[in-house]
Amino acid sequence: MLLLALLTASLAQAQDKPPFPEGTKRVLFLGNSITYAGRYISDLEAYFITRYPGRQYAFINLGLPSETVSGLSEPGHAEGRFPRPDLHERLGRVLGRVKPDVVFACYGMNDGIYLPFDEGRFAAFRSGVRRLHAALEKSGAKRIILLTPPVHDDAALGKYSQWLLGQRDSLGWEVADIHTPMTRRLETGRLAQPGFRLAADGVHPGEEGHWLMARAVLLYLGEEAARAPDALSALGSHPRGAEIHQLVSQRQAFMKDAWLRETGFRRPGMAPGIPLSEAERRYGEIEARIRAAVKGTAP
């Protein structure tokens, strides 16, 4: 019986052990407009708040619409108003200011330029990803996790995903595969409904697509509790899970623009973010409401 008690305690401890390295405070997300939209980040943050209430992570969204990791841009992008921004133009500023402990990066969707697969563009993507990973290693991040690109109706992203996954064995990189589960869902959806889409425009996923991304990340991190049909179901064990998710989403909406303003970028047409100092004050106010909801006390 003593052995059984020890085993039970050991299993409980293992299940409660968070996937991020000890001392992690800041979790950075880099990517394009899909990351900037940020629904999958809110899903992830709300999950970790309810799953690990004793841990406090700052989930920092620094996605930038139109951005590539390859530095490529098609002629006449945005009706000729501006070329696609290159992540590497701002990466040093971002890492220097944020000083992340954990980094997630999701690129590829824009890097194929929505054209048929081309070896030259593929080479630029690979080079850009290698530069990114090297910069993240140099920054001192404790954990670096690349995400395969979301699904799109072209062959390029499948090949980009295969290459990224291949780096797990050849270079020991961490790569979480979101492309495959999204592709499978698209295929099964189209069997039942030929016009089924995860993204109305074929690029930017809706709520279901973002949850598929978040769930793939959570499962990669060993969070088996994340096997749920949607984000709110994954939070269902907490009586105020929906409220917590709404507060997290509200906070993410202004924090991402504040961080973009703080670190700088070259991309016209973005919403003007509030100063980071003001955003952090509002962050603290919402944090108090989130913690009250986690504990089940009055807001």
* pLDDT, tens digit only, all 299 positions of the chain: 444 333 333 333 344 678 899 999 999 999 999 999 999 999 999 999 999 999 999 999 999 999 999 999 999 999 999 999 999 999 999 999 999 999 999 999 999 999 899 999 999 999 999 999 999 999 999 999 999 999 987 778 999 999 999 999 999 999 999 999 999 999 999 999 998 999 999 899 999 999 999 999 999 999 988 899 999 999 988 999 999 999 999 999 999 999 999 999 999 999 999 999 999 999 999 999 999 999 987 65
Cβ atoms of 198 and 209 closer than 8 Å? yes
Report residue 138 as tokens.
């140099």
DSSP 240-295: THHHHHHHHHHHHHHHHHHHHHHH----TTPPPPPPHHHHHHHHHHHHHHHHHHHH
Q: Which residues pair with 26 in a beta bridge?
A: 58
pTM, entire model: 0.93
Q: For the chain, first and last CA: distance in Å?
A: 43
Burial 48-61 (b: 16+ CB within 10 A, else e): bbbbeeeeebbbbb
Cβ atoms of 204 and 34 closer than 8 Å? yes
Report residue 28 as tokens.
């950075």
Confidence (pLDDT) at 16: 62
Burial 85-102 (b: 16+ CB within 10 A, else e): bbbeebbeebbeebebbb
Confidence (pLDDT) at 153: 72
The helix (H) or strand (E) run that includes residue 143 is: strand 143-147
The helix (H) or strand (E) run that includes residue 130 is: helix 119-139
Residue 274, Cα to own-chain centre: how many angstroms? 22
**How does DSSP classify residue 115?**
S
Position of tokens 């088996």? 224
24-295 belongs to CATH 3.40.50.1110: yes
Confidence (pLDDT) at 17: 75
Confidence (pLDDT) at 12: 38
**How does DSSP classify residue 86?**
B
Q: Where are the domains of the chain?
A: 24-295
Residue 82's CB: how many other CB atoms inside 10 A? 14
**How does DSSP classify residue 110?**
T
